[in-house]
Structure 1
Amino acid sequence: MSEVEQRAPGFVDAAILPQPSDARIAVRVSRPGLRAIRSGSPWLFDQAVESHKPAGTSGDLAVVFDDNRRFAAIGLWDPESPIRVKVLHVGKPVTIDDEWWLNKMRQALAVRRELLSNGLTTGFRWVHGENDGLPGLIVDQYASTVVIKLYTGAWFVHLRSIMKALIEVGPVERVVIRFSRLVRDGETYGLVDGDTLYGEHPTGPIMFLENGLTLEADVVFGHKTGHFLDQRDNRAIVRNLASGCRVLDVFSSTGGFTLSAAAGGAKSVHMVDVSAPALATAHRNLEHNKVIGSISTCKVTDVRGDAFAVLEDMVERGEQFDIVILDPPSFAQNQASILRALSSYERLARLGLRLTAPGGTLLQASCSSRVNIDELADAAYLAARTAQVDIDEFKRTEHSVDHPIGFEFGAYLKAIYYKVTPYSI
């Protein structure tokens, strides 16, 4: 293990970051590749690259030309990835400089202004990767702390410019860097996952607001960037449904749904998750909001374990709830796993339906981009037949405003709400 890998996260001067090269890579691509990027794809795959010069290094700006040697697009060269060019701009020539990055951050924030306008939400996704025209780059903000997560090492040479833009658009008091597993295993230029590049290194969780509720995010060691921001709208819906209800929160993670249900007046919430640290965070999030009467009076319990096994045991005991929330991790990690994923969604829905009291509500969510919302619904209806209940869909949701869909394959999140009634023959 290298010295860098052994080091704990801390403050690191951004001056150690590499600088972008002045060189540009001229790229000629196949006609299908050119059609793809002109049709909105943010990805140019390696097999579409017919020639390029010079050889270039990770993060160099790659200029894509058409058959007539005219500018078609510009993006980040990523020689170690099958997605060889991460496209930043298509159309007329542009200069990628500090002003360009500044405008991109301003444009992204403008899309989210309405979300932030009432001051009740201070945790949001500022940059949603490809969907905001910045492939492989995530920027989440928690109060005045910004977390940049890299899904490709091609971004390292541009981090100084991005940070400068974020701080100028702000307000930003701290910038923390996080890496995907792929990036963490490659060249990180002396950085470790969770380092702070601007401001004081955090000594504990960062507190932020979601729909007026106080939550914590572990931006250094937590999953993703510290919190699952994408389910904010569904948590608000559950809050409005929860008054007087017994709620089951499956795959509860750090308790976002549980907190919202309690705030909405739920009688009780039972959390199920495999992670002890996540459940501990959920209980702390409840403590942060004890001044709200409905939260202090809500009975919250939990069980740690495999969700499927736990639910099977609960079905055997005949337990039932007025609201059952199923918010699993992605079951379809690749194309080959889709059929297995659909089977898992059906099995999960069947268990959830058996635990839903007559007249109750089942919420089934999916973050699998390879499973669309109609396929998710089909799985629920098959499950209902096996569970011998009727289900009446009354609401569908997809992405919130800070998780926009900017290209054909940009959608991943979906949720369906069902009213559950006894089986009628």
Structure 2
Amino acid sequence: MEDLFKIHGIVNLKKGEGRTLKAGGMWVYDNEIASTMGEIVDGGLVEVHDFDGYFMGIGYINRRSKITVRMMSRRTREIDRAFIEQRVRACVDYRKHTVDMSSCRLIFGEADFLPGIVIDKFSDVLVVESLALGIDRFKPLIVELLKQVLKEEGMPIRGVYERSDAKVRLQEGMERFKGFIGEEFDTKVSIVENGVKYMVDVKDGQKTGFFLDQKYNRAAIRPMCKDAKVLDCFTHTGSFALNAGMAGAKSVLGVDASELGVAQATENAALNGLSDRVSFICEDVFELLPRLEKEGELFDVVILDPPAFTKSRNSIKNAVKGYREINLRAMKLVKNGGYLATCSCSHFMNPELFSKTIGEAAANVHKRLRQIEYKTQSPDHPILWSRDEESLYLKFYIFQVCDEL
């Protein structure tokens, strides 16, 4: 354990670099580093110094990664068990004051000052995603401390499952991994969110099993859905569709390209007694929307919750085309005076670009938009303000869609 907290050397920045770090960011990139000193061990802790020797904090290093250092602290010169425990307790305390903790994200990487690790709580189960070599070394301790703190708060955990199977681990020189941490348990977990029951598959579902970040956005669509005909695109396990059904929609059609997702969504509809009004089909949304338009279908509410169309700056142009296309198609399917809920979960699709793209789509189909809501991710996915706002990724709008006068 002592080696876990050992400082292995010093990383010296180039003159004029570290601007993101100085503006509140958590990362040091490879091209910002002038030199290293000491017996550097990838995954180990290092001090970060400015070009003039000024101490800028402690982070863990991985020279294989473009993000070479992820900062753990900007002030302390020592990381120990008490430091990690304080960070974990701060994560839980923050959620106690901001969200319903029955199911929520307990640790959100950089935004919780524990860079590279995500831990979700689904009822009495934790799901861990470790994305960086350095934090992987701290993972057992973080999980141990988190279970301890939750038990003290009257929320004992019966099992922990790891979903560290993202491709980004390969860039860190790590293998993709999924499996139990500790004893095995039933990985189908029952949760309740906004009064809706779900069966969450933490082993085989997307990401950690369920998208908790849209919790309050799902609730926000309810007022528009009473007695409405609703189309929910990219429905995943049916969360928006089920909220519409619970709000009293006349009919809801959920669409997703994943057969597993549609099967889970159908199961969730039955779980809530909504099978008579909420149904799901497995189709490609980009192919379905033009066909529905050709068939003359119109809906009171259309919901777009697509996956990230880009995970890098290099593919942003194609992503813009994709977002413009689905929003354009969706607006054509909304009755005059009906409603469109649309979002983007891509960090690289910044709020300004997303808004511009939606506006262009509306202009192309001669629709006027009246904004009802603009929201981001739920508070258990906090947004850490910095120059790049690395933790801001979800943008969510609700519009009334009107024909041009």
TM over 0.5: yes
Structure 2 matches for 1:134-149, cutoff 5 A?
134-149=114-129
Match of 1:172 among 157, 162, 165: 157
**Conserved 8 A contact 1:33-1:45:** no
Following TM superposition, by how much is the alpha carbon of 1:172 offset from its aligned partner in structure 2, in angstroms? 2.4
Deviations 1:381-416 (CA, angstroms, capped at 9, x unpaired): 222222233221222111211111113232110011
CA 1:316/1:234 → structure 2, altered by over 3 Å: closer, same or farther?
Answer: same
Q: Distance between the aligned counterparts of 1:378 and 1:409, measured in 2? A: 21
Show the counterpart of 1:377: 355
Task: Select which of 377, 382, 389 maps to 1:399.
Answer: 377
* CA distance in 1 between partners of 2:168 and 2:356 (Å): 34
Aligned counterparts, 1:266-285, within 5 A: 266-285=249-268
Matches within 5 A, 1:182-201: 182-183=168-169, 193-198=177-182, 200-201=183-184
Q: Summarize the alignment of residues 215-364 of structure 1 with structure 2, pairs less than 5 Å apart.
A: 215-290=198-273, 295=274, 298-364=276-342
How far 1:186 sits from its partner (Å)?
7.0
Q: Which residue does the alignment assign to 2:40?
A: 56
Deviation per CA, 1:232-289: give whole Å up to 9, x if none. 1110011232111111000001111011111111111101110000011111112222
Paired AA for residue 311 in structure 1: L
Q: Is the 8 A contact 1:19 1:158 kept in 2?
A: no
Q: Take 2:96 and 2:310, find their aligned partners in 1: how far apart are those partners? A: 33
Q: Which residue of 1 aligns with 2:153?
A: none
Please state how far the C-alpha of 1:77 moved relative to its aligned partner. 1.1
- The answer as to whether partners of 1:193 and 1:220 remain within 8 angstroms in 2 is no
Would you say the 8 A contact 1:58–1:77 is kept in 2?
A: yes
Q: What amino acid is the match of 1:410?
A: S
1:116 Cα offset (Å): 4.4
SS at match of 2:221: helix
Secondary structure of 1:166's aligned partner: helix
Letter in 1 for 2:133: G
Question: Compared with structure 1, are the counterparts of its residues 204 and 147 closer, same or farther at alpha carbon in structure 2 (3 Å cutoff)?
Answer: closer
Q: Percent identity?
A: 29
Q: Please, which moves more after superposition, 272-281 or 51-60? A: 51-60
How far does residue 422 in structure 1 lie from its aligned partner after superposition? 2.2
Equivalent position SS for 2:207: coil
* Aligned-residue offset at 1:372: 2.3
Report the Cα distance in structure 2 between the residues aligned to 1:266 and 1:412, rounded to whole angstroms: 29
Cross-structure match for 1:13:
none
Distance 2:36 2:381 in 1: 34
Residue 387 (structure 2) pairs with residue 421 (structure 1): no
Query: 1:23 Cα deviation (Å)?
Result: 4.5
CA distance in 2: counterparts of 1:201 and 1:32, whole angstroms: 51
1:181 equivalent to 2:161? Answer no
Note closer, same or farther for the CA distance 1:140–1:184 as it changes in structure 2 (3 Å cut): farther
Q: Which residue number corresponds to residue 162 of structure 1?
A: 142
Shift of 1:343: 1.8
Q: By how many angstroms is 1:94 displaced?
A: 3.8
In structure 2, the CA distance between the partners of 1:241 and 1:19, relative to structure 1 (3 Å rule), is: farther
- Cα separation, 1, equivalents of 2:140 and 2:187: 25
Q: Which residue of 1 aligns with 2:109?
A: 129
Query: Given the alignment, which residue of 45, 55, 72 partners 1:71?
Result: 55
Instruction: Quote the offset at 1:19 in angstroms.
Output: 6.5
> How many Å apart are 1:184 and its aligned residue?
6.1
Instruction: Mark the runs of 5 or more structure 1 residues left unpaired by the alignment.
Output: 1-16
Give 1:123 shift. Answer: 1.5
Which residue identity does 1:203 align to in structure 2? D
Q: Which runs of 5+ in 2 are unaligned?
A: 151-155
8 A contact 2:110–2:116 mirrored in 1:
yes
SS for the counterpart of 1:103 is: helix
Contact residue 144 and residue 173 of structure 1 kept, 8 A: yes
2:158 aligned partner, one-letter code? E
CA distance in 2, matches of 1:206, 1:184: 29
The answer (yes or no) to whether the contact 2:64–2:172 under 8 Å persists in 1 is: no
| 1:30-58 Cα distance to aligned partner (Å, 9 max, x none) | 23334432221111011222221334223
Other-structure match for 2:20: 36
Asked if structure 1 preserves the Cα contact closer than 8 Å seen for 2:5 and 2:80, the reply is no
**3-state DSSP of counterpart to 2:302:** strand
Question: Does the CA contact (< 8 Å) of 2:7 and 2:46 recur in 1?
Answer: no
CA change 1:58–1:214 in 2 (3 A) is farther
How far is 1:130 from its partner?
Answer: 1.3
**Number of positions where the alignment pairs a residue of Structure 1 with one of Structure 2:** 396
Letter matched to residue 137 of structure 1: I
Q: 1:35 to 1:340 in 2, by over 3 A?
A: closer
Scaled by the length of structure 1, the TM-score of the pair is: 0.87
Per the alignment, residue 211 of structure 1 pairs with 194
SS of the aligned residue for 2:72 comes to strand
